[in-house]
A = this chain, B = another copy of it.
């Protein structure tokens, strides 16, 4: 059944979740080359781009809770892609050399994902939709 044929297709809760799950699937596919899940990959890129970034800033950028960020970092540490250095109450997160070497692959995955979904969706249309989704998400910042 198509999303638009479901009984609840007019409910934004349902639609937003269904869409997010489908996009996530596509993203997972695109990030397989780097052997990372999309959220791990985005976190890693933020860390590479801004070495020493703190969990709070990562949470803010990724719109996830600090505890979720801690969990993501733990996994990336196990994979030897980031290290944490605690200084007083703050924690600094750094990419390892192994992570830095991966950067080109990471960028390839970004591109792959963008191409995959703009092929299916259309560039203009998706750009427009993303803007609208952001606008709405901004309004929902309670």
Q: How far is the CA of A57 from the CA of B64 in the complex (A)?
A: 33
Q: How far is the CA of A15 from the CA of B128 in the complex (A)?
A: 12
CB of B26 within 8 A of CB of A17, answer no
Chain B hits for A2, CB < 8 A: 134, 137-138, 141
CB of A61 within 8 A of CB of B137, answer no
The digit string for A123-142, where 1 denotes a CB below 8 A from any CB of B, is 00111111011111111111
A24-B19 contact given A8-B42, A130-B10, CB 8 Å threshold: no
Q: What are 7 A-B contacts defined by CB distance under 8 Å?
A: A12-B130, A13-B27, A14-B62, A19-B140, A25-B140, A26-B142, A117-B140
* A→B interface (CB under 8 Å): 1-4, 6-27, 38, 42, 46, 49, 60-63, 110, 113-114, 117, 120-121, 125-130, 132-142
